[in-house]
């Protein structure tokens, strides 16, 4: 089927072929289409240029083999079978460095302006106090950054969170005569983040391969170096005590606390980032060995949370408390708070304040203790001989 004006009238031009009339010419507006096409191409190039640039300079790693991340594994102290790539390359996680700091009053104002979208009373925080200076590190930020490099009370620290093992650690970054700059390697060991000490090339050494820069791999959950120069010397990161509690609890404990601020360009990501689906599932997407048995009699499944406690003068003598056990043993002291006092070591009493709404525990003791929390299967894989409180 043809339409009037589309083709020439063949009856009138039977004797001589007539060239079709060109309805669309440069003069008739084709130049507009050409310019529009050039603009579209330019915009497309502009849009993908950063991605192309990042692809050409991105850190080592291919998401498939641990060798591609270019760490020296020649002196690896753990089984290679339990190390797996978790990210496409090193530093894919946006570590936060030198964060902006807010006062508690500023946080309250922001929360009111945003109608509770930032740090309300039930939001959970990692709270740290050093030399009389207290600061809160919101979990919503750690879900995205995993590592926050900060200075508190004059001490350079790293507040770290491995969501695959639900493990928190706070480290003193001073080691010998240097301050470590920790990054996320992109690798997991026993379902726990492997950190590394970044060592950018010195001037004139830009072409030195990463594998030759003297970077070490550190287990976040054990604090030990597992590969690299620090592993040769059996080094460990020094830990700093912390609390993992609700914002309301921390604010009541430290009225003058400050808070790490969000990075504006990541605000939407903070609101979406949550590993709850992973926690609620029964799958174990990352290998860990040895795996523990479920212990339903004390409310301890493989993927349940545990609180681990030890004396600072005897860090290898640890006791493991199932979080559910603390909740069951604690006696109610208010509508959403319960308390339990226990003696994990001879002559040492510890008080656990359990908050039901946030499933957090404030730990208190007159003795020099430290503690952390993690998923049971990941902690057991790294510390299979630890004693479980029943």
Tens digits of residue pLDDT in 110-161: 988 888 778 999 999 999 999 999 999 999 999 999 999 999 999 999 999 9
Question: Which of 13-27, 48-62, 176-190, 209-223 has the least mean pLDDT?
Answer: 13-27
CA angle, 128 then 351 then 384, to 5°? 80
Average pLDDT over every residue of 235-241: 97
Q: Taking the mean position of all CA atoms in its chain, how far away is CA 144?
A: 5
Give the pair of three-digit tokens for residue 103. Answer: 């006062």
How far is 361 from 377, CA to CA, in rounded Å? 20
Q: Which residues contact 82 (CB under 8 A, 6 or more apart)?
A: 189, 190, 287, 288, 289, 381
Residue at token pair 């926690």: 279
Task: Specify the 3-state DSSP secondary structure of 82.
Answer: helix
> Across the beta sheet with 155-162, what order do the strands follow?
96-97, 147-152, 155-162, 167-172, 238-239
Residue 141 CB coordination number (10 Å):
26
Q: Looking at the predicted structure, is the pLDDT value of residue 27 above 80?
A: no
How far is 338 from 340, CA to CA, in rounded Å? 7
Q: Max Cα separation, the chain?
A: 117
Task: List the one residue out of 181, 187, 100 whose CA is nearest residue 147.
Answer: 181
More confident position, 138 or 199: 138
Strands 258-260 and 178-179, by their bridges, are unpaired
Tens digits of residue pLDDT in 285-311: 999 999 999 888 888 999 999 999 999
Residue 335 has a pLDDT of 85
Name the pLDDT band for 11 (thresholds 50, 70, 90): very low
Residue 281 has a pLDDT of 93
How far is 120 from 274, CA to CA, in rounded Å? 16
Residue 59 has a pLDDT of 87
Average pLDDT over every residue of 29-46: 59
How far is 269 from 145, CA to CA, in rounded Å? 11
Residue 8 has a pLDDT of 39
The domain segmentation of the chain, as residue ranges, is 66-201+209-247+249-253, 293-388
Residue 9 has a pLDDT of 41
How far is 264 from 12, CA to CA, in rounded Å? 71
CB contact at 8 A, 166 and 117: no
- Mean per-residue pLDDT of the chain: 88
Helix (H) or strand (E) holding 276: helix 276-280
Tens digits of residue pLDDT in 64-96: 999 999 999 999 999 998 999 999 999 999 999
Name the pLDDT band for 29 (thresholds 50, 70, 90): low
Q: Looking at the predicted structure, is the pLDDT value of residue 352 above 60?
A: yes
Q: Computed from CA positions of residues 247, 248, 250, 256, in that sequence, does the dihedral angle turn out positive or negative?
A: positive
| Cα dihedral 180/185/187/192 (nearest 10) | 40
Give the pair of three-digit tokens for residue 60. Answer: 């080592």
Tens digits of residue pLDDT in 57-72: 788 999 999 999 999 9
């Amino acid at each position: 089927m043809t339409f009037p004006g589309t083709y020439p009238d063949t009856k009138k031009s039977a004797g001589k072929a007539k060239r079709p009339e060109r309805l669309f010419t440069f003069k008739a507006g084709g130049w507009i289409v050409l310019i529009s096409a050039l603009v579209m191409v330019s915009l497309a190039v502009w849009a993908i240029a950063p991605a192309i640039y990042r692809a050409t300079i991105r850190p080592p790693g291919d998401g498939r083999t641990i060798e591609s991340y270019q760490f020296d594994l020649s002196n690896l102290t753990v089984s290679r079978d339990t190390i797996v790539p978790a990210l496409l390359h090193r530093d894919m996680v946006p570590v936060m460095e030198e964060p902006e700091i807010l006062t508690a009053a500023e946080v309250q104002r922001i929360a009111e302006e945003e109608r509770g979208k930032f740090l309300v009373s039930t939001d959970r925080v990692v709270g740290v106090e050093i030399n009389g200076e207290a600061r809160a590190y919101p979990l919503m930020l750690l879900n995205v950054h995993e590592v926050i490099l900060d200075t508190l009370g004059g001490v350079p620290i790293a507040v770290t969170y491995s969501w695959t093992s639900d493990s928190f650690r706070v480290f003193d970054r001073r080691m010998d005569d240097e301050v470590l700059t920790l990054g996320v390697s992109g690798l997991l060991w026993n379902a726990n983040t492997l950190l590394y000490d970044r060592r950018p090339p010195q001037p004139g050494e830009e072409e030195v391969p990463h594998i030759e820069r003297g970077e070490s791999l550190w287990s976040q959950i054990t604090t030990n170096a597992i590969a690299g120069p620090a592993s040769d010397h059996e080094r460990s990161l020094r830990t700093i005590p912390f609390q993992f509690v609700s914002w309301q609890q921390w604010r009541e404990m430290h009225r003058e606390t400050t808070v790490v601020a969000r990075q504006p360009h990541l605000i939407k990501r903070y609101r979406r980032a949550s590993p709850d689906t992973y926690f609620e599932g029964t799958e174990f997407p990352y290998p860990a060995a040895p795996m523990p048995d479920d212990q339903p009699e004390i409310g301890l499944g493989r993927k349940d949370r545990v609180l681990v406690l030890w004396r600072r003068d005897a860090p290898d003598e640890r006791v493991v408390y199932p979080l559910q056990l603390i909740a069951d043993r604690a006696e109610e002291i208010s509508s959403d708070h319960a308390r339990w006092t226990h003696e994990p070591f001879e002559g040492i009493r510890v008080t656990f304040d359990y908050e039901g709404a946030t499933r957090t525990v404030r730990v208190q003791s007159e003795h020099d203790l430290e503690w952390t929390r993690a998923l049971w299967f990941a902690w057991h894989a790294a510390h299979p001989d630890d004693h479980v409180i029943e």
